Amino acid sequence: MRFMFVGDSMTIGRAGDYTWRYRMWQHLNASFGGPYAVVGPRTGLYDPRDDAPTSHDYADPGFPERARRHLAGWGEGWQHMAPLIGGAVAAGRADVLLVSLGLIDLGFYTAADETAANARRFVAAARAARPRIRMVLLPVIPNVRAESDAPFAAEVDRFNELLAKAVADLSTPSSPILLGARPAGYDIHRDTYDGTHPNASGEHRLAGEFASVLHQAWGIGAPYAPAPDHARP
C-alpha cells in the first residue's frame, strides 16, 4: 500500500522539525503489519533562510529519505495542489492520500466557496489518475488569527461545512473519502509553536487523527501509540 501526505506548511514542516509525517511513518512502521511505501515528488522541509523548501535538516537524521516523500508546500493550498495531484498520484501510484489543506487558502487566496471548489477539483484529478484511490481529509483547524478576526473565523467554519458536504457528495464505494476531525484536545496555544504550526505534541495529535480514521474505517494499522523521542516541546 502506498501512502501520500498532502498539505501546506503544517505538513511540509520547517528546518529542524520532526513533522507529523515523521510521526505517521513511525506509527506505520509499528502497526501496519505488511509492506507499504510513502510516495510523493518532494522530500524537503521549508527553510526560512531561503524562503524555499530547500532543507533536509529533519530533527531525526535517521528519518530515511524514502519515508520523507510528500506533496506539501509552505504557502500552498487546495488551489496549488489541485493541478499537481494527478501527476503526483500517477507517478507514485498512490493508494491512500492523507490530506491537510485549506488554512492557507482561506487566509491568503480564496474564500470558502472557491476553496471548496478547488477541493472538488483535487478529488477529480486524483481519481482521474487512480480511479480506486482512497482519501482522508482533515478539516481546517482555526489558528490564532481566527481568535481576533471574526470574518476569517466565519470563512473557516463555512469551508469546513462545504468540505463535509463535498465528502458526502463525492465518496464512492470504489474510491471512498473520509473526513477526519479536529484532533481531540488540540489546543493552538499548547500544540503549536506560533498559533498555527504544530510542535511535537501537535504533530502527534495530527498523526493520531489520521491513524485513528485509517484504523477505525478501513482496519489499516492500529490505534495510535506515540513513539518516544526527544522532540522539542
Q: Is residue 101 included in any domain, yes or no?
A: yes
Summarize pLDDT for 34-48 with one digit per residue, the tens: 999 999 999 999 999
pLDDT at 231: 41
Q: What is the dihedral of CA 179, 183, 189, 194, to 10 degrees?
A: -50
pLDDT at 33: 87
Asked if 99 and 140 count as a contact pair (C-beta separation under 8 A), the reply is: no
Summarize pLDDT for 110-151 with one digit per residue, the tens: 999 999 999 999 999 999 999 999 999 999 999 999 999 999
To 5 degrees, how large is the angle CA 108–CA 109–CA 112?
105
Average pLDDT over residues 67-79: 98
Q: Is residue 223 included in any domain, yes or no?
A: no
pLDDT surpassing 50 at residue 188:
yes
Which among 223, 204, 208 has a CA at the least distance from the CA of 136? 208
**Grid cell of 11 as nine digits:** 505538513
| Three-class secondary structure of residue 106 per DSSP | helix
Q: Please, which residues have CB within 8 angstroms of residue 169's CB and are 6 or more apart in sequence?
A: none
pLDDT surpassing 50 at residue 52:
yes
pLDDT at 229: 52
How many angstroms separate the CA atoms of 43 and 56, rounded?
8
pLDDT at 8: 98
| Three-class secondary structure of residue 4 per DSSP | strand
pLDDT at 226: 80
Asked if 72 and 12 count as a contact pair (C-beta separation under 8 A), the reply is: yes
Label residue 94 by pLDDT band (50, 70, 90). Answer: very high
pLDDT surpassing 90 at residue 50:
yes
Give the Å distances, CA to CA, from 226 to 22, 23, 74, 86, 190. 11, 7, 26, 32, 17
Between helix 78-92 and helix 112-129 the angle, nearest 10°, is 10
To which residue does cell 493508494 refer?
Answer: 95
Mean pLDDT, the chain, integer: 96
| Three-class secondary structure of residue 7 per DSSP | strand
Rounded to two decimals, the pTM is: 0.96
pLDDT surpassing 50 at residue 230:
no
pLDDT at 228: 59
**Grid cell of 146 as nine digits:** 481566527
Domain of residue 109: give its range. 2-218
Q: Is residue 64 included in any domain, yes or no?
A: yes
Q: How many domains does the chain have?
A: 1
Q: Using a pLDDT cut of 90, give the percent of the chain over it.
A: 95
Q: Is residue 231 included in any domain, yes or no?
A: no
Bridge partners (DSSP) of residue 207 are: none
How many angstroms separate the CA atoms of 138 and 183, rounded?
9
Domain CATH for 27: 3.40.50.1110
pLDDT surpassing 50 at residue 87:
yes
